Every structure is written in C-alpha cells, then in structure tokens.
Amino acid sequence: MANGQLLTSAAEAQRPDPSSDDVVLELSGVAKSYGAEDVIPELSLSVRDGEILTLLGPSGCGKTTTLRLIAGLEKPNEGRIRLRETDVAGNGRFVPPEERGVGVVFQEFALFPHLTARENVAFGLQEWSDEETEARVSELLDLVGLESQGSSYPEELSGGQQQRIALARSLAPEPEMLLLDEPFSNLDVDLRVEMREEVRRIIKEAGVTAVSVTHDQEEALSISDRVAVMNDGDIEQIDTPQRVFQQPKSRFVAGFLGHASFLSGEVHGDSVDTALGRVLRDDVNGLAEQYDGTGIDLLVRPDDVTAFPADGEEANGTVVYRRYLGPTVLYRVELDSGETIECMHNHSDRINLDSRVAVRVTADHDLAWFPVGQRESATAVAAD
C-alpha cells in the first residue's frame, strides 16, 4: 500500500476540520486497571459535536477499554466521564449503558437472526408509537440504502448489508453518540474500502457524533475528522489525519502510521546534510534556529524518496529487499552510510535485488524531524 493512498478517500475534498467548541464527550483523568495491571494510567480526551474521532493503536494499547468506559460497559477506577455536560461516571456517579443515550456498533454486528432487517432496526424503539417506529425505521433503511431489504433476515444479507443494518439499529433511538468497535474487521479487503466511505456518509448525514476504535491505519485516516493515536494507555497525538501522518509528534506515531525511515542529518545554516545529500531547511517543517550545528533525524516516507539505478560514485546504496504490491513496489535500500531507506515505486519500474542505486529525496512537502536525543526514549513501530 503506497503511503499516498493512506490519505486518500472519496470524501477527502469535503472533509471538515472540526472547530466546534461544543464538546459532546469529555474524559478527565480517567484511569482503569485490572488488578495490578494499569491498562489506562490517566487519560483525558474531548470529542466535539458532529465529528468522527478514531482511537488508533496496536493491540493492548487501551483503545477498546476506553470505548467500553465511554459506553458504560466498564467503570473507571479514577477520573470523570461527561456526556453533554452530565457526569455519567465519576464523582460517585455511574450511569448504566442503557441510560447513556449511546449507540454501539460491534465488530460482529450482533444482529438478531430471528428478526428481519426492519425488526432489527426497530428493536430499540419499544417505547415509540407504532406510527413513529414505522417512520423512523423507513427513514433509516432509506439512509443506509436498504429500503428494499426490510423483510430480509440477517442470513440473507451480505456482510456489508448486515453492517449497514447494525448501524441503522444503533442510530434508531437517536443517540447522543455512536461508538464503533473495529467496525470493518469482519469484512473482506475490497468491501472494507467501500464500507468505510459508506459508513462515513451515513454518520455525517445522520448528524451524529461518533467515536471509532481500530488498529488499521488506513481505516483511521480515511474515515476520521480527527485521529487519537494511543500507546500504552496514553494518547501520543490527537489531530487531523493529515497532521498526524505528515507531522507526527513522536517516533511512535511516525512509525505506526505507515512505513517510516529515519534519515540522520546535521543542520548547517539553510540546509541539513544527509547521506542522500543536502535537504533545504525550508523543506523541513518548523526547524528552529537553536538546532543549528546539531544532529536531527528526518522522517522519510517511501514516497518521499526515489531510487535510480546507478554506478560508480553516483550510487549511494544497494537494494536489499523488494516487495511487489500490485500497483506499487516497495524497495528497501541499505545506504553506504549504514542507514536503511524504503522507497515506493510504480509497478512498472523494476530494480533488481543487489542492484546499486542512487537514492534522492523527492518529497513535495515539508519533512517532519526529530532531535537525535529522542532516539532511545521513543520507539518507531514500522507498519507491515
């Protein structure tokens, strides 16, 4: 998967940058432990009205526990959770899940097999009148594009259709917030891409605030207004998809969000000297004057560099790995400096293993960077 594809979605041009001050959900100093294990040491987070926020991170980072705390399926050991300025957990108060006005879409969809699609959607509307229920169910079936499948049972629906019915069922009672737990993990690869765009459209048209949980970087970047990258029960960075990908605040975030290579360099005036030549200071994001004369590491994504077959002094590395990905080919180059860089090329380009190459920085955006002193204090997690 090319890194450029990580930021591409059909709705990208229309994606808002949520700036509303109307906070729907607020977690303040929330902690959760199981025995001696601190899953979430202390977490604070706010979710704005109408946005889709995704909690992204590796297995065991605390993202699912956070979702369960919001839903009321778990009680925090410390801290406070507020929904629409009302305490639902903390300060001696705990509101059960069914009274929070929160809808949950589980990764298994959890549809009732003995009920039709229409009956599944209507399940949470027992207190509504028959006329109101009929109108609401019809409205939601139309919203998810399944008005003709109302009489079908779950086993008669495809995986994508089942997901849309599960989403409609969660939206039916008009919840304050929608929670999605790994919503696309049970779908095949092609259907995931289609359903990400469809689910985002449905949530936005419904006007509901949503919090999603996933370990899939592409999913998080394509569906979300903001992404909160979690590690060891803490949020390392929360920002728009573009900023967390292009301007990560830690090496962990940089490495978790796609392939990441770190190219060492030394700052001298208006440029940074690296094994790939000089990089202009103007092409490095926010490089302060106090770093003149010091070493830094530039974050280089595979589509930020290009390898060319070369001989003699022009060559500065050797191809040691090649992976065919269909539309693209990922090359790993061991530089003569001892560093390793990954390059992403079009599938029609072919460079043989063990070939000598010249690698050049060809990025069309400012590169992120990190002080050398952060090398041992942060871990880069390379995405597979």
**Residue 330 forms part of a structural domain:** yes
Does 36 score more than 90 pLDDT?
Answer: no
150-203 pLDDT tens trace: 999 999 999 999 999 999 999 999 998 999 999 888 788 878 888 899 999 999
**Nearest CA-CA partner of 218 in 178, 181, 262, 184:** 184
Residue showing tokens 């860089």: 341
- CA–CA distance, 118 with 108 (Å, rounded to integer): 19
What share of the chain in percent tops pLDDT 70? Answer: 91
Q: Which two tokens stand for residue 53?
A: 């926020």
State how many domains the chain has.
2
Residue after which a domain boundary falls, among 254, 275, 300? 254
User: Cβ contacts of residue 45 below 8 Å, gap of 6+?
Assistant: 25, 26, 27, 66, 228, 235, 238
Residue after which a domain boundary falls, among 205, 223, 254? 254
**Residue 227 forms part of a structural domain:** yes
Neighbours of 220 (CB within 10 A): 28
- CA–CA distance, 55 with 66 (Å, rounded to integer): 9
Same domain, 107 and 248: yes
Does 252 score more than 70 pLDDT?
Answer: yes
**Residue 383 forms part of a structural domain:** no
- CA–CA distance, 204 with 210 (Å, rounded to integer): 9
- CA–CA distance, 232 with 378 (Å, rounded to integer): 12
Sequence-ordered alpha helix ranges (H) in 41-116: 63-71
- Helix, strand, or coil (residue 165): helix
Q: What is the largest CA-CA distance in the chain?
A: 81
Q: Calculate ∠ Cα 296-252-212, nearest 5°.
A: 140
Cβ(45)–Cβ(153) under 8 Å? Answer: no
108-154 pLDDT tens trace: 888 999 999 999 999 989 889 999 999 999 999 999 999 999 999 99
Same domain, 244 and 292: no
Q: What mean pLDDT comes out for the span 353-360?
A: 96
Q: What mean pLDDT comes out for the span 304-309?
A: 96
Q: What mean pLDDT comes out for the span 300-313?
A: 94
Same domain, 61 and 153: yes
* Domain CATH code at residue 316: 2.40.50.140
Q: Which pLDDT does position 57 carry in this prediction?
A: 95
Same domain, 127 and 207: yes
- CA–CA distance, 316 with 352 (Å, rounded to integer): 16
Same domain, 75 and 206: yes
Q: What mean pLDDT comes out for the span 205-232?
A: 95
Q: What mean pLDDT comes out for the span 368-380?
A: 63
Does 46 score more than 90 pLDDT?
Answer: yes
Same domain, 74 and 159: yes
Cβ(144)–Cβ(167) under 8 Å? Answer: yes
Q: What are phi and psi of 348, to 5 degrees?
A: -80, -15
Residue after which a domain boundary falls, among 233, 254, 275? 254
Same domain, 218 and 282: no
Q: Which pLDDT does position 379 carry in this prediction?
A: 36
Domain, as residue range, for 275: 260-374
Confidence of residue 374 (pLDDT cuts 50, 70, 90): low
Cβ(123)–Cβ(89) under 8 Å? Answer: no
Neighbours of 54 (CB within 10 A): 26
Same domain, 28 and 130: yes
Same domain, 124 and 145: yes
Out of 17-26, 193-202, 309-318, which region has the weakest mean confidence (pLDDT)? Answer: 17-26
Same domain, 227 and 278: no
**Nearest CA-CA partner of 51 in 228, 195, 172:** 228
Q: Which two tokens stand for residue 63?
A: 């993202």
Cβ(267)–Cβ(294) under 8 Å? Answer: yes
Cβ(179)–Cβ(107) under 8 Å? Answer: no
Give the torsion sign (CA, 346, 227, 17, 250).
Answer: negative
Single-letter amino acid code for the residue at 217: Q
Q: Which pLDDT does position 268 carry in this prediction?
A: 93
**Residue 305 forms part of a structural domain:** yes
Does 19 score more than 50 pLDDT?
Answer: no
Q: What are phi and psi of 302, to 5 degrees?
A: -60, -30
Q: What are phi and psi of 281, to 5 degrees?
A: -60, -35
- CA–CA distance, 337 with 283 (Å, rounded to integer): 22
**Residue 384 forms part of a structural domain:** no
- CA–CA distance, 289 with 291 (Å, rounded to integer): 5
Q: Which pLDDT does position 120 carry in this prediction?
A: 96
* Domain CATH code at residue 91: 3.40.50.300
Q: Which pLDDT does position 192 carry in this prediction?
A: 85
Tell me the pTM.
Answer: 0.86
Q: Which pLDDT does position 18 carry in this prediction?
A: 47
Same domain, 160 and 303: no
Confidence of residue 43 (pLDDT cuts 50, 70, 90): very high
**Residue 127 forms part of a structural domain:** yes
User: 243 exposed, middle or buried (CB, 10 Å; 0-12, 13-18, 19+)?
Assistant: middle
Same domain, 180 and 277: no
318-352 pLDDT tens trace: 999 999 999 999 999 999 999 999 999 999 888 99
Q: What mean pLDDT comes out for the span 276-291?
A: 92
User: Measuring CA to CA, how many Å separate 104 from each of 95, 109, 234, 301?
Assistant: 16, 9, 23, 36
Q: What are phi and psi of 19, to 5 degrees?
A: -130, 10
